[in-house]
Amino acid sequence: MVSPLVERVGRDNAGRLKVVKLNTDNAPDISTRYAVRGIPLLVLIRDGAEVDRMVGATALERLRAWIEPQLPPATAHQAE
């Protein structure tokens, strides 16, 4: 299951990353807007625009490697 991994990456990057989960059955308009064709689907959005997406389950390290280049630099406070 991808959800616990995504939640962990979100906690590990608090202040640098906002994680939002969507139930596609309950939000068909949003699913259509983002052209959801399969789940799990991870979409990276920066400044309101999609920058990348990943479909399917993945390992924690691959998830981190995919997200990290898109994140702003950590501040000294965030690194603690």
Task: Give one DSSP letter per residue of 23-36, joined into a string.
Answer: -TTT-HHHHHHTT-
> What are the boundaries of each domain within the chain?
3-73
**Is pLDDT at 77 greater than 80 in this prediction?**
no
The CA distances from residue 20 to 42, 59, 75, in Å, are 10, 19, 22
Model pTM score: 0.82
As a whole number of angstroms, the distance between CA 72 and CA 29 comes to 30
Q: Which pLDDT belongs to residue 43?
A: 96
Class of CATH domain 3-73: alpha beta
Span 13-71, pLDDT tens digits: 999 999 999 999 999 999 999 999 999 999 999 999 999 999 999 999 999 999 999 99
Query: What does the block give as tokens for 76?
Result: 């000294």
